[in-house]
Every structure is written in structure tokens, then in C-alpha cells.
Structure 1
């Protein structure tokens, strides 16, 4: 039986249906159907109101722990405990913020009611959806692994008795891998079920608090909604396949092929409402770039020749001036934790180790614009020539490995002007935010054009000039939409997923840390916002 169906209060007239309203003038409780009957007596004055707003309230004061004969009629906001008048007059709470216990009770109950509604109407249904998806995937696993077993049987028939042992071995591999697969999903299902049970228990406890008016219980209530709002990650397991090679003179075991290993990937869902978790004041007049050194330390560059390392509390940890005394063109952090910056006017790319600046690349006929560090610790650099051509160049140390400038038809991939922040995706795609072309231009590792993203299709009348760009562990592409004060999130194939707003003001540079927290450099405010969006 649903515990929420217990202790239902009934209408005073019909004594059958649950009450929904009350008439304050006659102190009578009514169901929806009986309201019209009660109001039919026009000779009397009525005042109908929802029952939950006007139900009888008889407070149960808790006794003071130090003065047993006294009721706790006040609440100490500083000590977070109910107190009696004797406690207050003793001076132990001098200078503390005190509030009326009934007012505190009311505000606490409002918070409990809000949390209850969120748990029942938003959080718990989402867990239900995830649980259902896991069960559906388990059914698909059964079907797909059955198909793999059938494939193994068909191969066994071709080779008759000579390959019976191999067939049985392959089927055993399938069963073992399937068991691992099911075990992974069962574990996830158990975790979700456990969390759902916790939520149900919390719901019952909160309803008990709301119904009892017990001040002790109410004052000790602590919300767990933030904890439950952190939904469990989705586990995505890549189904193995059985792909035998063409029959030849190799050994039977090689000919028969083998089952690929189980691949497990954690899929992080996007938050419905991204939230700012920290704000860093950089001290610049205008801010241009941000690059993560760690989860709580970022390098920044602004409108002068100094690059700053700051923590989440806006504390300056290190500052370094450029070798030339000019403003750096862009900054990036290598896999080893060293800072790289470009010097547009000096035609150089520079590396900083132990506060010592080394020029690692000097260009001829080209000027470096923006830089990023790849997973393989190479450098990708966008650059422009003296005659306004643009390209992306990959460097290993100081050696040029690859230049990307034209598509398969010999047409320029990138515009001749404007900002060109860039980033490497997890699938090794190279993503360039081409401000001059009003597009995000994405090519694969070899430089072949994959797609261009020119803004959300529904916003044809809006300006779209992407500036900062970064990618995350889910192969999402995030790009700053400066004029519209938002971030676009795309999948790895260029499909729009959603926006991040978070009251951004002229977002410019972007980076993501190892935990997929987004850092946004705001040009106008010169602040960095740390945003959780997964």
C-alpha cells in the first residue's frame, strides 16, 4: 500500500472524498464536489480557501535542554538551535541573530515542501527514467548476445567436427563477456534502486515532519536535494563483435576469429540547468583567454603583457611578462604543465619553464594567432600570412608535422581575418572557431573537412561569430557566442545540443579541466566563471 494514502482527511459534508478546501467563516472542511453545495446557501457569507493554507496549527514547543521547565520559543541562527528566554537572558547568545521559533518553523516547512515537490515531481521521475533505460538495454543485450552466439554456431557448422572445440570456446567467451556486461548493468541498476529507496525514505520523513508540527524534528531538518540532484552517470558498454577473417591456410584458431573485449564508457549527461561554482576576478581591464593548469588554478591573459596564474579565490600565484614586452597572442598549457604563448608581432611561439622563457618556434612570412596543446603533447597553431592567408599547423617540439589550409577542391578552409581560437577533440578532430567566417570549422586528423557549424538553425536572424572553443571528455564541442552572451554545446558531429547562459557577459576564451568543469573568460568584466554543465 502506498504510504501516502494513509491518514487521509475526509470532507465534513460527504465524509467520502478527501478534503481540498475549507470555509473559514464556518470552519468546515470540503472536497471539490461539496464546495458548490456549501456555496449554494446565498444567505450566508463564505470564505473558501485551500485547506493546506489554513489548516489548524497547534505548535509543539520543544523543552529547553538546559532549562527543562522552559519552552524554546526562539531560534538562534548563529548556533542553529532552539532556545528559551532564560538562555537568551543568560547572555550566552549575546550578539547572535535570533528569530521567532514559529517563523523559523514556517520557513523550514516551506523549504521542506519545496524539496518534497522537487523530489516527487522532478528528481525521482528522472531516476525512474534511467532505471527503465537500464532495463531496456539489458533486454537488448540479451538479444544481441544471442545473435553473437548464432554467428558462432554458423561458423562452427562450416568447419564441422574439426572446429567444434573452437566453437565451444568462442561461445564460452561470449557467455563470460555477457556476464560481465550484465553484471555492470546490474550494478548500475542496484545503485539506482538504492538511491530511489533513499529518496522514498526521505520523502516519507519530510511528510512526517510536515504533518507532525514537531519543532525539534523540523529544526534539525537538513536538505539532501543537492545530493540527489547529482544524477548517476550513464554507463555505456560497447557491444563486442565477432568478425572472422576470410578462410585461408592459417591455423583454425586464427581463421575462426575472436571476440573483442568489453568496452565500458561512462556517459555524463548534460545538466538541465548549468551552474556557476566559482568566479575569479583577474584584475585585467579586459580578459582574452583562460587555460587550465588544474581544477583550481588557471592561467589568464588580458590587455597587457602580463600572464597571470590565479586560483579560484582570485589569489595571484604567479605572473610572467612576455619576452618582447608586447601582449601575448594566446596561451595554452602543455601536458607537462608548462605555459605556451604566441607573439604575433615577434612571429614566435614561446615556452615557459620555471619562469624562464624559451622561443621554440620562429615563423617566416606567417604570424601566429592562437594555440592549443593536443593529447599527444603536440602544438596546434592557427596563423595568418602577410598576404592574409590562414592555416593550422601541427608542431612536435619545434618541428612542423602537418599543415592544414585547403579542402579537397583546393578552396581555403579558413577565412582571411578575425579570431581563430582552436581545440583538439577526443576523436582527434581539429576544431577552429573561425570568427571571420562566422563558423566552427572541424577537420579530421588528416585535415579533411568534416563539417561547418554556423549557429543554431532556428536563429537565422542572429549574429553568430564564434570566438573561444574547447572540447570535453564526452567529445562535446563548446564555443563562445560573444554577441549573444552564451555558449553553444555541439556533439562531435556538429549537431547542436543546447546553450549555456549562466548570466554570461561577453564570453571570449574557454577551457575545460580534467573533471569537465568549464572555465569562461568574460572580456568585459575581466572575470573567469567556473561552470558545471555535466
Structure 2
């Protein structure tokens, strides 16, 4: 029996190979008994880390410094984006630079790895298993389908008796050829799906290795492929051939015998769907936390998985909080407007799949990204004013924007109520290339109301684009191609939350006024009805499901749902962000 490979044996010392291992060298990955510790650490290497066996892999292994070979790097230079040691930090090369603690980055990335592994295990890999089973089932049915087709041809041939024997033989030959091609096409598609499944499985194995590793360089250097796997391939269908028998005419046998329609193929957009776990709405949504941002007005909230959230409001500072509500850092927008007016603020904020912050600046017509502490302009608009943002599952950037009108003839600026053009533009985030403009329906009418009010937007799991058009009092949903799917204009059960009704105001404001909008893992659409202090929940087809009206929400403005389906709600007038649990 191999003492090291047998799952039935207890861990043994890697040096003497007989005594039980009671300790472990966390830097050399060697199991040791106590008598062998001295032999192991007796070499010239002085950096051994001996820990109790049950605490193995608890010590972070920092990479060696490329400049100071005997030192290990415990920091990352935000400006140079490289690992550095304590000697590098104090060197002139990095003078004035800022640094991040590698242990914090390691912890942050480790959480991402854990979640990626969970997604691959519970969602992505099972989905591809289902896809392959479906294709295999289709292959298995081909023989029966083609036998039925052949019998129809033979029956027609018997009715024409001997005069059509040659035609029957010829057409059955065509059927066999089509069947061969049909099988070949499906087999090719099946192999393609198997290859992707293999890639998913390989990625999962890599994630399991990274999950169990304490190698900082390995973990920090990990590149997620989940976004690639989440975007499923087009479903490939083969339309089988059809036999179209004709009336018998012996003189024109070849023409009237019938036509064998060949099979055809087509790609079905979004034919495959991820097998997401089903979660049901709670009867009573629960308020589980709140963050006081200190802002007098707060507009936008976004986040990165369930690790942290960013908020922005009517000030130039954007703030980041952890999931416990503690302030992590603040970033000031670099707007030219700050130089001339004190109340400059970002129009909206969003996050990339890699955790980089993006914000739109209405005063400069720019959209900017903050990556590793450095800010760069990614989009500049001359004739349009950028408003609200959304990063899609494919990594594109969606932007709502308003046209910029020149000053009126009398020299006064255009009013907020003036009719303007409003559109949605899709950019390729890697190079800011404009990919798509969504502005009109199939009759040439504007999809969105023509005013300067904010129009928050998000992408659903079915790739629909959902927009909250507050001025129109509608949620407008278009598909990925920009074609209108439906409009939602509120529900009769949505009555203004009376706990916030001023005593001297006897009005009941029931007009639907959606502001923020988001979607969850169930493809449900959530939108904030700000003046009525409510949140509406719809299914992916726009059918009303329920309201959230019992969580002490005051002027809910923007919404964000994290990977755990926890809802974050900004309260516009009091500067708070509240956390709501609304799914089982």
C-alpha cells in the first residue's frame, strides 16, 4: 500500500515515511513528524514555516520581489500594477505612488474564486449537461423520424406500382444522404457542446485548485471565465426534410411523384437557458440593514457581486462600503465643473465584471473608468449628455443619453421641461466603439419620453433591456435587438404608502413614477416608485407580482440586487441605503 496515496491511511511524514505527520511546512508543502523538523529546516533556506498539521495552508505565500530577490512582496503598486516589497515601497522608483495590501487583494479575489466555483458547480456545468442530453435525445430520435419518412415514400410508391420503382429508389437514396448529413450536423453540434462542457469542467477543476491554494500570485492572477460561459451559444436546430406527395400522373411520373424537401438548419437566439435555482418571493420582505452615507441626497447605488457597494449623490464624492456597511474608500470625480461650481456630481455609476467603477459626468459629456486607482476617459460625447449606465453580461456598456440643445435665441438656457431626444447607446467597453443605438419603435415613434429626467436601465437574464422612464410613468422593456417587448404603467394595488403622507396633505398620490430599476437571478424586474415609497416587482414578461411596501422605505430612488439576491435601495431624500431580503 502506498502510504501517501491511500485514502484509507493517515497522513505520514514525507521524510521518514513512517511516523504520523503532526506538523506541516506551509512554504514547502511537506508533512513532518516532530523528529524530522530539524532535518527539514537544517538546510540553508531560513524561511521555513512550520505549523500544526491541522493548520496547513494557513500561511500566505507571497511572491518574491523581482528587484530585491531576498524579499517577498506584500504590496501591489496601484500606479505600476506590480507586486512590490517593503524596500520597493520606500524607493524613489515608486515615490508618490499608492499601494494596496496583497493580503486584502488575496482575500477579495479568494471570495470571487469561491463564488465562481459555486456558479460552475451549481449552474453552468449542469446547464451544459442538460444541453448535451437534449442533443443526444435528438440524435436518438433520428432513426424513427427518418423511418416514418421513408415509409411515406414507399406507400406512395406502392400506389404507383412498378412505374415508379425507379423514382422510389432514387428518392430513398436522397433520404439516406440527407440522413447522413443530418446526423453529421447534429454530431458536430454535440461535439461542440461537449467541448464547451469540457472547458467548463476544466475551469471548474482549476477553480478548485485555486480555491485550495494559498499562492498569492496564483490567486491574484486568476482570470474568471464565468462571463464567457454564462453567455450560452446559439441553439442549433435541424429542420428535418418533408415529403410532399402529388397526384399520380404516369406520363409525368418524375414531376408528380412528390417533392422531398431537404432538411434546413437555423440558429435559435437564446434557445438555451441557464438552469438557475428557483427562489420564491417572501410573503413579508425583511429589512436587514442600512447604511447612512452622510449625503443630503443620494442617487445611485451599484456593487460588485456581494463584496461591496458604491453610492453617489448630489456631491462630487463617490463612496464604497463593505457588506457590513463600513466605509472603505471615497473617490472624487475629476470634473471641470468642480472648478466653477461646488455642486458638481456624477450622473450615474456602475461596475464592470472585474470590479472597476464607471461613472458618467453630465458636465463634461464624458464617461470615465477607475481602474487600479487610476481614472481614464472611455467615452466623450459632444452633442449628447450621458445619463445612466449599465454593464451587460457580455461586457458591453449601455448608456441612456439626452440631446444637447443650443441656447435659446434670447440667450437663456434650455429648460428642464423642454422636449429633447433620448436614446440608448451600446458601446464595446474595450475600445468604446459604438455598437448599437436604440431610440425608436417599429413605427418610428420614440421609445422613451423626451425630457432631461434620468432614465435608469439594466439588463435582464434574457438580455432584455429594462428602462425606468419616470416622466412617462412607465417601465419600458426592449429585447437585445432594441425591439419593444412591453410597457408597464403601474398596478391598481399600488397605493401610496400613507405613513409618509403629510398630515396637512390629504391627497393620495398614486401616479406611478419609476426611478431606479434592477433585475434578479429569477429574471424578475424591480423598480422604485419614488413618490409613493414603494417597490414594484414584475416577472420578465411585465406581469405584476407584488409590492415591497413594508420595509420603512422613504423616497426609494435607485436599486441594486447582489449575487445573493439581496436588494439595496437608496433613499433619495435622507441619504441612506437599505438592505432588503425579499426572496426565500
> What is the TM-score of this pair, normalised by structure 1?
0.53
Task: For residues 324-352 of structure 1, give each alpha carbon's deviation from its aligned partner in whole angstroms, at most 9, with x where no partner exists.
Answer: 13211100001111000000011000000
1:363 aligns with 2:387: no
Structure 2: how far apart are the matches of 1:330 and 1:241?
A: 39
Shift of 1:296: 4.0
In 2 relative to 1, CA 385–264 (structure 1 residues): closer, same or farther, beyond 3 Å? Answer: closer
Aligned residues: 316
1:393 aligns with 2:455: no
In the alignment, which residue of structure 1 is the partner of 2:3?
none
- Give 2:281's match in structure 1, choosing from 260, 270, 273: 270
In 2 relative to 1, CA 391–255 (structure 1 residues): closer, same or farther, beyond 3 Å? Answer: closer
Structure 2: how far apart are the matches of 1:341 and 1:416?
A: 23
- Give 1:432's match in structure 2, choosing from 464, 467, 470: 467
- Give 2:442's match in structure 1, choosing from 388, 396, 408: 408
In the alignment, which residue of structure 2 is the partner of 1:310?
321
Secondary structure at the counterpart of residue 158 of structure 1: helix
Secondary structure at the counterpart of residue 156 of structure 1: helix
In 2 relative to 1, CA 261–335 (structure 1 residues): closer, same or farther, beyond 3 Å? Answer: closer
Report 1:482-493 matches (<5 A): 482-493=530-541
- Are 1:423 and 1:470, in contact at CA under 8 Å, matched by a contact in 2? yes
1:353 aligns with 2:344: no
RMSD, aligned CA: 3.7
- Give 2:240's match in structure 1, choosing from 242, 245, 263: 245
Shift of 1:475: 1.1
- Are 2:463 and 2:479, in contact at CA under 8 Å, matched by a contact in 1? yes
- Give 1:518's match in structure 2, choosing from 546, 567, 572: 567
Task: For residues 422-476 of structure 1, give each alpha carbon's deviation from its aligned partner in whole angstroms, at most 9, with x where no partner exists.
Answer: 1011111111101111111111111111111110145597111100001112111
- Are 1:282 and 1:314, in contact at CA under 8 Å, matched by a contact in 2? no
Report 1:255-266 matches (<5 A): 264-266=275-277
In 2 relative to 1, CA 154–282 (structure 1 residues): closer, same or farther, beyond 3 Å? Answer: same
- Are 1:480 and 1:507, in contact at CA under 8 Å, matched by a contact in 2? yes
In the alignment, which residue of structure 2 is the partner of 1:499?
547
In the alignment, which residue of structure 2 is the partner of 1:531?
580
1:373 aligns with 2:391: yes
Structure 2: how far apart are the matches of 1:377 and 1:153?
A: 44
Structure 2: how far apart are the matches of 1:305 and 1:298?
A: 17
In 2 relative to 1, CA 458–321 (structure 1 residues): closer, same or farther, beyond 3 Å? Answer: same
Shift of 1:155: 4.6
Secondary structure at the counterpart of residue 277 of structure 1: strand
Shift of 1:156: 3.2
1:450 aligns with 2:461: no
Structure 2: how far apart are the matches of 1:346 and 1:157?
A: 68
Task: For residues 303-335 of structure 1, give each alpha carbon's deviation from its aligned partner in whole angstroms, at most 9, with x where no partner exists.
Answer: 210000012333211110001132111000011
1:323 aligns with 2:334: yes
In 2 relative to 1, CA 488–317 (structure 1 residues): closer, same or farther, beyond 3 Å? Answer: same
> What is the TM-score of this pair, normalised by structure 2?
0.49
Secondary structure at the counterpart of residue 531 of structure 2: helix
- Give 2:355's match in structure 1, choosing from 337, 347, 350: 337
Task: For residues 37-94 of structure 1, give each alpha carbon's deviation from its aligned partner in whole angstroms, at most 9, with x where no partner exists.
Answer: xxxxxxxxxxxxxxxxxxxxxxxxxxxxxxxxxxxxxxxxxxxxxxxxxxxxxxxxxx
In 2 relative to 1, CA 155–518 (structure 1 residues): closer, same or farther, beyond 3 Å? Answer: same
Secondary structure at the counterpart of residue 456 of structure 2: strand
Structure 2: how far apart are the matches of 1:515 and 1:298?
A: 13
Structure 2: how far apart are the matches of 1:521 and 1:495?
A: 25
In the alignment, which residue of structure 2 is the partner of 1:383?
401
In 2 relative to 1, CA 243–420 (structure 1 residues): closer, same or farther, beyond 3 Å? Answer: same
Secondary structure at the counterpart of residue 446 of structure 1: coil
In 2 relative to 1, CA 241–274 (structure 1 residues): closer, same or farther, beyond 3 Å? Answer: farther
Between stretches 482-491 and 150-159, larger displacement belongs to 150-159
In 2 relative to 1, CA 246–507 (structure 1 residues): closer, same or farther, beyond 3 Å? Answer: same
Structure 1: how far apart are the matches of 2:386 and 2:571?
A: 23
Shift of 1:241: 12
Structure 1: how far apart are the matches of 2:487 and 2:475?
A: 6
In 2 relative to 1, CA 525–362 (structure 1 residues): closer, same or farther, beyond 3 Å? Answer: same
- Are 1:282 and 1:310, in contact at CA under 8 Å, matched by a contact in 2? no
Structure 1: how far apart are the matches of 2:543 and 2:279?
A: 17
Shift of 1:525: 2.5
Secondary structure at the counterpart of residue 147 of structure 2: helix
Structure 2: how far apart are the matches of 1:361 and 1:256?
A: 43
- Are 2:358 and 2:368, in contact at CA under 8 Å, matched by a contact in 1? yes
Report 1:7-406 matches (<5 A): 153=144, 155-159=146-150, 245-246=240-241, 264-324=275-335, 325=338, 326-387=344-405, 388-397=420-429, 398-406=432-440
In 2 relative to 1, CA 355–455 (structure 1 residues): closer, same or farther, beyond 3 Å? Answer: same
